[in-house]
A and B are shown apart, each in its own frame.
Chain A
Amino acid sequence: MVKRIAKRTVAILLSAIILAGSTGCGHSTLSENKNGNQDRPVVVNLEGGDWGYPTPFSHYARGPGLYKMTLIFDSLLERGEEGYIPWLAEDWDISEDGLTYTFTLRENVKWQDGQPMTAEDVKFSFEYFAEYPPVFSDLTVDGKHFIQSVETVDEKTVKLKVEKPLAILLGKIGSTRIIPKHIWEKVEDPQKFNTPEAVIGTGPYVLKDYIKEQGAYQFEAFKDFWGPKQRVEILQFVPVSDSILAFDNGEIDLTRITTDILSKYQSNEEYKVLRNPAFWGYRLLFNMERRTEFKDKKIRQAFAHAIDKDELVEKIAREAAIPANAGYLPVGHIWHNAHAKNYGFDIERAKQLLDGEEFSFKLLTGNSNNEVRIAELLKISLAKAGITLSITSTDFKTRDAAVKRGDYEIVLNGHGGWGRDADILRTMYLTEKTSNRSPAVGGIPGYDNDRINVLCRQQLFEIDAAKRKEIIFELQELIAEEIPQIPLYNTTGYIVFRPAAFDGWKYMFDHHGVTHNKLSYLDVRQ
């Protein structure tokens, strides 16, 4: 018996040594790839995580899922550093009445299975999405499909007719993914379609491997890609336990860092540090259907006064954030209204607004450290004003689902997209149904304000940019006064990478993350 145990122990030890040895080898080949021979392919490794199968229908409804899908699927336009740039469409034209959009397609664009892409595919994609809405970028506005008809004029020209001229259409149409007709025309349940055929697009990268359990993805450059040459040949999302440690060990090529360790990287020539624009943030949503007390503006304002945003920025974000605005659009947004009301931290004022009454609510948060710590600080400071919070934390996917279902009293939600077109105000404050599955989109349960609804619709139909800006400014002032939800802070986190390994990182004009930007990996001169 003892002998057998001894034998087993030896066997286990030996296999552990072999395993350790083999992983060691893995690292050395990777680092050779990057720093050694110039002819070797450029490999970029990033932090993994399961964000679903990257088709327009089955990726997870958050940024990391969406932007993996966009590596494979192109759209007519792409988001560049300054604004929309021509992509599958070489040129476009909007008729004077704003009702006809004509796109001239690029020639010699091939699907990843070798078939040529034609105007038929574009027409098919819009019609297919009208029937089966994708995870993001739905083609509805105000509950209705805005595209009346799609016509193919010739092989490379597509004409879209819309019902009404809307300010946001170019962006909406331009960012709709184009899918191959010869594959998808047979598919009747796109959410369950996850064969290798489902990830054939015209984009710069081909999905080589996806391991759901590990959250690992491998993308390889598509040889017959029509556009700019790929600077990164192999892009991998690998599982890591602690991303900063993994970055330090060279397992991944880019990571987020906190201000506490900023100096370690800023003072070293080997690294380059970038500061993200403040287009990612946390907000606190009230469910006014569940707790009708929230319909009272005073209670919401009391919340706003009782929360110390500066403390959150200092302690949770470690100063790498800016306090968010009551009017929602962050300071860096092109249409941010600096004159909208803001609520200073003032417990006395909060008590006055509550009129001595005491309340208790349930707060739902994700279980990441930041979210739990924010919840704890909120609990402490709201208690001073007479509001008791009891906190439940779940994993973020459960939380996201609860947000979409409206299954909460108060929820803490963090997401990106705060820098996008000001129409985000409509998707958030106007009560309407949407097929968009993102937890960042959708109204506030039970909230309905006539003036806000009117302004949200007005800005949508206003083509004149200057006039639209005025409406958006008024809307922000109204939202700030009404405060139907409380934006907490917008992160301006730092990222660090080794320029010697890869230095193509770029931002999109309205987005917070460089790794989400397809153009980061391509040789684009703008």
Chain B
Amino acid sequence: MKYVKQGMKNIKGFTLMGKTGMAVVCVVLFLGIFSDRLSVHPYNLPSGSAFEAPGPVHWLGTDDLGIDLWAQICFGARVSMIIGFGTALLAGIGGSLIGICSGYFGGLIDKIVMRVTDIIIVLPDLPTMIVLGAFFGPGIRNIIIVLALFSWTVPARIVRSKILSVKEEKYVVAAKNYGAKFWHLTIRHFLPNILPVVMVSVIRLFSKAIVAEAGLAFLGLGDPTSKSWGLILNHAVNFRGIYFTDYWKWWIVGPSAAIMLLVTAIAFICRDVEKIVNSKI
């Protein structure tokens, strides 16, 4: 509860850009949660003829199969949000825990963890993700796992270095001398210290995951019948001669705008959070 209050106070400290970003993310979240009710038409069944231009019936037009694009974008928001949150939480929590252990215990654990992060950081993530995506097969769950596998290293490293310095703080040493154990120290002293820095990297991961999913789907590695934004784009640009027709005006512009809007909004939030965190340190 204390953290939530703190968070609300922080949001008040956001710039106008940050607040706008927050609003956009909330809207997308809203779209994702209530996607079935926000659109008159189904997202997975044809509801008109192919390539209807945007109009009163189909707000953003229809695609080649005659499926309403607004409905697909609403549903795509859900996919993007699930993947964004899923990856960010999985990688954020997992990475932080690994970082805390590595920083606190040091020694062999630290060495192993740091070498593993080195290896993963060196691996170019997009090509490896393409290979893993092709190997494990499409599906939202697999994409989250693959993305998380490649993103936990950033929070892990940041947290480890933070823990290394916090560990030496006098109050932590004192608590330890009074017999405080690892879990007590983590919850009582480490978490409040690392939370702000983890926040920043988690928000970054969030947008990275959304873009990566869109990228994988765009390359045709996503689930071929899911309706993520990347996949709508994939179908659109692979339609023969789309740029010589009028269809791109709604079929490509809609989902691209959605991705850009969301990612830019997250970037603004990230910038503000970083500012607030930095001023505290």
Contacts and interface: CB of A to CB of B under 8 A. Distances in A.
B224 A367 contact: yes
Contacts of B64: 315-316, 373
Contacts of B45: 380
Contact of B244 (A264, A316, A365, A393): A264
B239 A369 contact: yes
Nearest to A314: B50
A376 B240 contact: no
B142 to A, nearest CB: 13
B241 interface: yes
Contact of A373 (B65, B243, B244): B65
Contact of A372 (B46, B66, B224, B247): B224
B235 interface: yes
Contact of A261 (B65, B66, B225, B244): B244
A256 B240 contact: yes
A391 B240 contact: no
A244 B239 CA distance: 11
A256 B240 CA distance: 9
A377 interface: yes
B6 interface: no
A380 B220 CA distance: 20
Given A315-B66, A393-B224, A372 B244 contact: no
B245 interface: yes
Binding site secondary structure of chain B: loop
A393 B219 CA distance: 13
B245 A373 contact: no
A367 B240 CA distance: 15
A257 B65 contact: no
Given A315-B50, A372-B224, A380 B44 contact: yes
Given A380-B45, A380-B46, A375 B240 contact: no
A372 B235 contact: yes
A399 to B, nearest CB: 13
A223 to B, nearest CB: 38
Interface string B208-252: 000000000000100011000000001100111101110100000
Contacts of B66: 315
Query: Most chain-B CB neighbours within 10 Å: which of A260, A379, A393?
Result: A260
Contacts of A245: 243
Contacts of B224: 365, 367, 372, 375-376, 391-393
Interface string B45-84: 1100010000000000000111000000000000000000
A9 interface: no
- Residue among A244, A257, A368, A376 with max Cβ neighbours from chain B (10 Å): A376
Contact of A244 (B220, B234, B241, B247): B241
B241 A260 contact: yes
15 contacts: A245-B243, A257-B240, A258-B240, A260-B244, A314-B50, A315-B65, A367-B220, A369-B240, A373-B64, A373-B65, A376-B224, A376-B225, A379-B225, A380-B45, A393-B220
9 pairs of A and B residues whose beta carbons are closest in the complex: A369-B238, A244-B241, A261-B244, A393-B224, A260-B245, A261-B241, A372-B224, A258-B240, A315-B50
